C-alpha cells in the first residue's frame, strides 16, 4: 500500500528506551511509499544505531546541527517535510517543543517547519503522570500537534502502567490521517465488518470465511479522512484505532446495532458478510456426538441492508457489498436496485487473492445512476479509498475501466 508515496517524512528519534520501536515505524513508513529522513538525537544514539535507520530509510540518518554537510540542515529539513513524526517523544523533547527551545537538530527542525507534527510520547508512568508533562502535552495538542498514545502495558524494568509507546502501526496511521484528505470532516460514517456467527449450540455456529479486513480498512480510511466512525464488527480484536467499536456476533445483533446507529449517520457502508440463514432452535448446551447426527433446521435472517435502504433518509449515502462467484455484475446490479442502494461494491470471491481472508481485493463499483468503475487487484486499504472517492463523487484513482451503463 503506497498511500504515502511522494510524501517526505522527517522521523525524529529521541533517547527513550522505546527508540528501538522507531525502527519499525521507519520500515512501515517506507513500505507505505514515504521518503523518510531519520533525525536522531544524541540520546537516541545511546539506544539505537544510525546505520540501521540509514539502511531502512534509504536516506542518511541526520544526527547533528553543526556537523552536517548542509550549512542549514534544520531549515532544509523543516521546509521540505510533509510531516514530522517524533517517536518516542521523551519528557525532554516535549518540554523543549512546548517552550520553543531548539537545542539540537531535531528541535530546530520542528521549529523551522510548518508541517504537521505527530508526537508519540513514551516514558515511565510516574513521569507521564507528572502535572508539568501533562500540561506540556495539552498545550502542544492545542497548538495543533497530533499526540498518539501512550498506551498501557509492560514498561522497561518490568513494571506495568501508562507510558508505553503506541504501536508502530498506530503511529503510521496517525501520519496517514494528518496527510490524507479531510473530505469526511464533520460527517458520521457507519461501517459494518466481519462475518456473523449464528449459533447451532453452545460451541458451534453457522458462519463464513469473512475476516473483517475490508470493513476495517474502510473504517480506518473514513477515520483518516476526518469522519466520526462507528464500526459494527464481529472482529473487535482487530478493529483499527480512532473509531467507536460496537461488537456483535449474530445477524440479529448487527441489525439492532445498525438500526440504532444509522439514522444519525451521513454514510453507511455495509461491508459485513451477514449470514442469510440461522438455526431455528439452537441448543443451550453442547450437542453430543453420542446422541447421533443432529437435524439443524434453518430460517432466514433479517435483511439488514434492505431495512436500511427502506429507512434511508434524504441525503444519506448507502453502500452495500456483494460477494459473488458467478454473474458478478448482474447479481450486484439486481441487489443494488432491490435494496435501494446508492452504490454497491461487488467482488468475485472465487478469484485468487480476492475477498475473504485476503489482504487484497478486486472490485466493481456500481452506482444507482448506472455508473461503473472497475478497480484492479490491490490492497484493501486502496479499495477503501476507491469506495469513498466514488461515493463522494470522485472517480477512484486506480480504475481499470470507467463507463456509464
**Long-range CB contact pairs, 128-136, < 8 A, 24+:** 128/162, 128/163, 129/162, 130/91, 132/95, 133/91, 133/94, 133/95, 136/94, 136/95, 136/97, 136/98
CA distance 272 to 253: 13
Find residue 303's DSSP bridge partners.
none
CA distance 62 to 59: 9
CA distance 400 to 25: 32
59 is catalytic: no
Backbone angles phi, psi at 338, to 5 degrees: -65, -35
Q: Report residue 88 as a C-alpha cell.
A: 518516542
CA distance 349 to 353: 8
Catalytically annotated residue among 2, 59, 136, 208: 208
CA distance 206 to 198: 5
CA distance 75 to 315: 47
| Phi-psi label, residue 90: left if phi above 0, alpha if psi -120 to 50, beta otherwise | beta
Find residue 403's DSSP bridge partners.
372
Residue 157's Cα: distance from chain center in Å?
32
CA distance 297 to 132: 64
Sign of CA dihedral 264, 270, 271, 273: positive
Residue 110's Cα: distance from chain center in Å?
26
Return the active site residues. Answer: 208
Amino acid at each position: 500500500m503506497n498511500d504515502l508515496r511522494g510524501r517526505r517524512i522527517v522521523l525524529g528519534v529521541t533517547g527513550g528506551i522505546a527508540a528501538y520501536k522507531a525502527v519499525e515505524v521507519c520500515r512501515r513508513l517506507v513500505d507505505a511509499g514515504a521518503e523518510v529522513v531519520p533525525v536522531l538525537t544524541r540520546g537516541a544514539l545511546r539506544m539505537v544505531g544510525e546505520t540501521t535507520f540509514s539502511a531502512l530509510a534509504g536516506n542518511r540518518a541526520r544526527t547533528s546541527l553543526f556537523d552536517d554537510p548542509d550549512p542549514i540542515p534544520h531549515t532544509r529539513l523543516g521546509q521540505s517535510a510533509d510531516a514530522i513524526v517524533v517517536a518516542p517523544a521523551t519528557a525532554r523533547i516535549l518540554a523543549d517543543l512546548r517552550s520553543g527551545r531548539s537545542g539540537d537538530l531535531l528541535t530546530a527542525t520542528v521549529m523551522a517547519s510548518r508541517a504537521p507534527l505527530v508526537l508519540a510520547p513514551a516514558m515511565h508512568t510516574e513521569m507521564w503522570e507528572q502535572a508539568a508533562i501533562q500540561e506540556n502535552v495539552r498545550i502542544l495538542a492545542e497548538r495543533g500537534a497530533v499526540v498518539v498514545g501512550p498506551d498501557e502495558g509492560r514498561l522497561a524494568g518490568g513494571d506495568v502502567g501508562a507510558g508505553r509507546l503506541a504501536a508502530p502501526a498506530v503511529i503510521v496511521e496517525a501520519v496517514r490521517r494528518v496527510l490524507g484528505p479531510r473530505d469526511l470532516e464533520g460527517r458520521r460514517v457507519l461501517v459494518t465488518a466481519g462475518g456473523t456467527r449464528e449459533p447451532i449450540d453452545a460451541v458451534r455456529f453457522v458462519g463464513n470465511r469473512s475476516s473483517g479486513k475490508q470493513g476495517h480498512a474502510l473504517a480506518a480510511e473514513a477515520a483518516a479522512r476526518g469522519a466520526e466512525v462507528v464500526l459494527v464488527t464481529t472482529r473487535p480484536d482487530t478493529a483499527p484505532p480512532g473509531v467507536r467499536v460496537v461488537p456483535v456476533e449474530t445477524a440479529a445483533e448487527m441489525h439492532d446495532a445498525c438500526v440504532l446507529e444509522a439514522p444519525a449517520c451521513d454514510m453507511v457502508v455495509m461491508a459485513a458478510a451477514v449470514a442469510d440463514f440461522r438455526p431455528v432452535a439452537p441448543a443451550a448446551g453442547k450437542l453430543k456426538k453420542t446422541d447421533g447426527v443432529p437435524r439443524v433446521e434453518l430460517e432466514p435472517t433479517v435483511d439488514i441492508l434492505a431495512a436500511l435502504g427502506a429507512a434511508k433518509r434524504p441525503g444519506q449515502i448507502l453502500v452495500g457489498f456483494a460477494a459473488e462467484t458467478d454473474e458478478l455484475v448482474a447479481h450486484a446490479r439486481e441487489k443494488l436496485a432491490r435494496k435501494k442502494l446508492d452504490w454497491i461494491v461487488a467482488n468475485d470471491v472465487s478469484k485468487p487473492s480476492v475477498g475473504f481472508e485476503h489482504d487484497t481485493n478486486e472490485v466493481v463499483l456500481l452506482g444507482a445512476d448506472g455508473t461503473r468503475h472497475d478497480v484492479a487487484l490491490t490492497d484493501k486499504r486502496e479499495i477503501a479509498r476507491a469506495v469513498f472517492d466514488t461515493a463522494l463523487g470522485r472517480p477512484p484513482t486506480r480504475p481499470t475501466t470507467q463507463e456509464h451503463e
